[in-house]
Chain A
């Protein structure tokens, strides 16, 4: 009974952005935490909404609603700590296999939430919140796609805090789409096969505008990644928490940050080594490609200075190719969202 009353109260407040007063205990904890490095980007696998519903004798849909509430709270906690980017796993491509009722319920929740977003433009702009939706959006019902496009276009100029919502997403599907993009680039002659690198693939992922997550938090006691940001979290600090997502508390978040700080040195070293290796491989590749070009010009004698300038020249050209390729990719993605948003306007115009 009381659970239902709580839900009715929450319904009124279920906004994306909120600012509540903090207690002195929390302020003190934050100051202690800020003695060490604080993650800039945290990813959440918000697992356990349905089990929470069962445990508290609620409808499954109510579990998801409580989950959304917890998300809004968690965003506030993150913002207070200085964590300005959050990525969440809202709906996996695997979830389409659930019962039709549940999938429809989740799509309906998405429609409502994204629609509410449009009403909160002032609040979102005030807090500088940018919302991005990452996934294979073509798999979603058309009207949800339109709602998503509007939400993304509405907030895309904000830059203070970023929320990435992974919807109709799996990591393998994302990596696959990046591979298709580069294959398309090579096929069209925009880039060469040898231009494909770790850096380039990363720039083709849905998360290309974001740095990799510093920390990944998964609730409900599961110890796996379940096809979420596999590429991006390979150097992230992993925090597996026992509680169900709606029971996630600020103390769990603080504990996660402490864990991140303990692992900071070891992880930063690994990331640095990886970047050095990337650079080395790129230089090696540029050298080999430049030499190949020289050989093809059938020059027999080349001085050191010739080689050096040749490699520099090749590097510059490669960077130009890549820039053109990525700009084109960006254009196509923006067009996708703009077209969807125009669909809405056309529908609205037709209705009047």
Chain B
């Protein structure tokens, strides 16, 4: 019987990790629709790639579910998004390491100069580290404004707890009736605090098939795609996922 147990365990091991390898191979072997030529990346080449996509996300979320975070690669992702025309970006890591990272901003500036050259100065990037006490900008938003929010676990369920407390207080002081609490008023409240629309697309990095606490309220209709790692992320893989996103049609529960 011991042999039988060992046999079962071995089969189990092979199946568990074999299936993962197969799924990763599938990601890298998929046919590449857009240009095969390795041409230099700059603002105009990336911008022309964006024109070939069916649809671009307005707000993209990057979930870093891996242990080691690479500022350089994260900065690269941000610069690509900027150049493609995505103006709301969320960076999430469960423990809030990015929020406390002092080098991210300088790395972003460096990558902008490296990839975009003289076009680097065209964009204004705003980094938001806090969910609730965000500085609201008085100026009107222009197309070259990029908002990046750094998020962690506390901005998920805990922010809904904070919201519940605010609404309870408003009801207790007769500012609100209980019937005024609705999904849309809650949504308005959260939107007012963050100024970010709900993410249309979320890219998970790391071999974890879960959202691990990322903005549960806001991911109601978010497309969830994934890549094995963000380290040494290559442009083609990223663009391929955006292309897959562009091909998706949402039915909103109503009709086919």
Give the interface of A toward B (CB within 8 A).
31-33, 35-36, 50-51, 54, 92, 94-95, 97-99, 170-173, 175-176, 178-180, 182-187, 193-194, 196-198, 201, 222-227, 230-231, 233-240, 255, 258-259, 261-263, 266-267, 270, 273-274, 277, 281
B191 within 8 A of A: no
Interface code B175-196, partner A: CB below 8 Å = 1, 0 otherwise? 0001001110011000000000
B213 within 8 A of A: yes
Given A187-B172, A226-B220, 6 further pairs, Cβ under 8 A: A98-B254, A171-B220, A175-B217, A226-B253, A238-B224, A267-B210
Q: Point out the residues of chain A lying under 8 angstroms from B73, CB to CB.
A: none
Chain A CB within 10 Å, residue with most, of B20, B169, B210, B223: B210
B114 within 8 A of A: no
B19 within 8 A of A: yes
Given contacts A172-B186, A223-B223, A231-B160, contact A274 B213 (CB under 8 A): yes
Q: Point out the residues of chain B lying under 8 angstroms from A266, CB to CB.
A: 65, 207-208, 210
Q: Point out the residues of chain B lying under 8 angstroms from A175, CB to CB.
A: 160, 183, 186, 217
The distance from the CB of A51 to the nearest CB of chain B, in whole angstroms, is: 7
21 A-B contacts (beta carbon < 8 Å):
A32-B12, A35-B12, A92-B253, A94-B252, A175-B217, A179-B168, A180-B178, A183-B178, A194-B165, A196-B165, A197-B161, A198-B157, A222-B248, A223-B248, A225-B221, A231-B160, A234-B210, A239-B209, A240-B224, A259-B19, A281-B158
**Least CB separation from A179: chain B residue:** B164
Q: Point out the residues of chain A lying under 8 angstroms from B213, CB to CB.
A: 234-235, 270, 274
The 6 closest A-B pairs by CB, nearest first: A94-B253, A35-B12, A186-B168, A172-B183, A183-B168, A230-B216
The reply to whether B210 and A198 form a contact with Cβ atoms under 8 Å apart is no
The distance from the CB of B135 to the nearest CB of chain A, in whole angstroms, is: 25
**Least CB separation from B204: chain A residue:** A238
A183 and B186 CA atoms in complex are apart in Å by 13
The reply to whether A230 and B219 form a contact with Cβ atoms under 8 Å apart is yes
The distance from the CB of A81 to the nearest CB of chain B, in whole angstroms, is: 14
The reply to whether B19 and A255 form a contact with Cβ atoms under 8 Å apart is yes
Given contacts A175-B186, A223-B223, A226-B220, contact A183 B16 (CB under 8 A): no
Give the interface of B toward A (CB within 8 A).
8-9, 11-12, 15-17, 19-20, 65, 94-95, 153-154, 156-158, 160-161, 163-165, 167-169, 171-172, 178, 181-183, 186-187, 207-214, 216-217, 219-225, 248, 250, 252-256
The reply to whether B160 and A234 form a contact with Cβ atoms under 8 Å apart is no
The reply to whether B253 and A238 form a contact with Cβ atoms under 8 Å apart is no
A179 and B160 CA atoms in complex are apart in Å by 9
The distance from the CB of A67 to the nearest CB of chain B, in whole angstroms, is: 15
The reply to whether A238 and B19 form a contact with Cβ atoms under 8 Å apart is no
Q: Point out the residues of chain A lying under 8 angstroms from B19, CB to CB.
A: 255, 258-259, 262
Contact of A179 among B20, B65, B186 (CB under 8 A): B186
The reply to whether A198 and B253 form a contact with Cβ atoms under 8 Å apart is no
